[in-house]
């Protein structure tokens, strides 16, 4: 099982938000790094959904309860408030209907934790302004023609989405390019420039 140092900074920040002994659904769980860590270190009752068969196979080989599924279509089958937490990490921008998925997250769990790559980060702005091309960075590592990201957004965009959906933001933080998570309580203008990723805990 991985220890705290084995998690990416954004996954560690998410793990730190989760209460010990709670229940969690990790949507787009990849190879199960976050799920494995919270099961081992916080005794969470956790399950996962992953689109890729390779991710499902790797997760199952680690002893995790993970099924293959599509967040765009399959979350509707989960009952209301079935979990304490629903986690969607670095996946929202790949979905066809991100607003509908967010609506499902806050329906099936008391708290939803969503992380997004921030297209408004100053490096992306600088790259686009100077090079005239879509940025390729550590966080946004694909070329424009082969990226799975179909809905680029910024931290400010996500804050506006939550406001439009009348959702309560319980916690908000950004992760800098040094991997340092920082909480913020304002409109996020600073976070929108200097955060490579935004992480939010939200509820209805």
pLDDT per residue, tens digit, the chain (204 aa), is 444 447 989 999 999 999 999 999 999 999 999 999 999 999 999 999 999 999 999 999 999 999 999 999 999 999 999 999 999 999 999 999 999 999 999 999 999 999 999 999 988 888 778 888 777 776 677 676 767 767 889 999 999 999 999 999 999 999 998 889 999 987 889 999 999 999 999 999
Alpha carbon distance 29, 23 (integer Å): 15
Return the DSSP state at 19: P
CA 75 to chain centroid: 16
For residue 68, give both structure tokens: 């293959």
CA 93 to chain centroid: 9
pTM: 0.89
Alpha carbon distance 15, 131 (integer Å): 37
For residue 176, give both structure tokens: 């800098």
**What Rg value do the Cα atoms of the chain yield, rounded?**
16
How many residues can be counted in the chain?
A: 204
| DSSP character string of 117-161 | E-TTSHHHHHHHHHH-S----SSS-S-TTT-S--S---HHHHHHH
CA 28 to chain centroid: 9
Say if CB 87 and CB 202 are below 8 A apart: no
């Amino acid at each position: 099982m991985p220890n705290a140092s084995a998690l990416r900074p954004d996954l560690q920040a998410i793990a730190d938000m989760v209460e010990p002994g709670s229940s969690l659904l990790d949507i787009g769980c990849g190879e199960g790094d976050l799920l494995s860590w919270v099961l081992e270190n916080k005794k969470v009752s956790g399950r996962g959904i992953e689109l890729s068969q390779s991710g499902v196979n790797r997760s199952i080989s680690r002893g995790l309860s993970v099924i293959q599924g599509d967040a765009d279509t399959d979350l509707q089958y989960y009952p209301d408030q079935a979990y304490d937490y629903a986690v969607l990490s670095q996946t929202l921008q790949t979905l066809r209907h991100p607003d509908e998925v967010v609506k499902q997250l806050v329906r099936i769990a008391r708290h939803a934790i969503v992380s997004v790559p921030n297209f408004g980060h100053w490096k992306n702005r600088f790259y686009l302004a100077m090079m005239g091309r879509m940025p390729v960075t550590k966080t946004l590592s694909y070329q424009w023609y082969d990226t799975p990201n179909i809905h680029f957004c910024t931290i400010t965009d996500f804050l506006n989405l939550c406001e439009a959906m009348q959702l309560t933001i319980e916690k908000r933080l950004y992760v800098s390019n040094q991997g340092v998570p920082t909480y913020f309580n304002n409109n996020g203008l600073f976070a929108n420039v200097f955060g490579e990723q935004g992480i939010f805990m939200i509820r209805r």
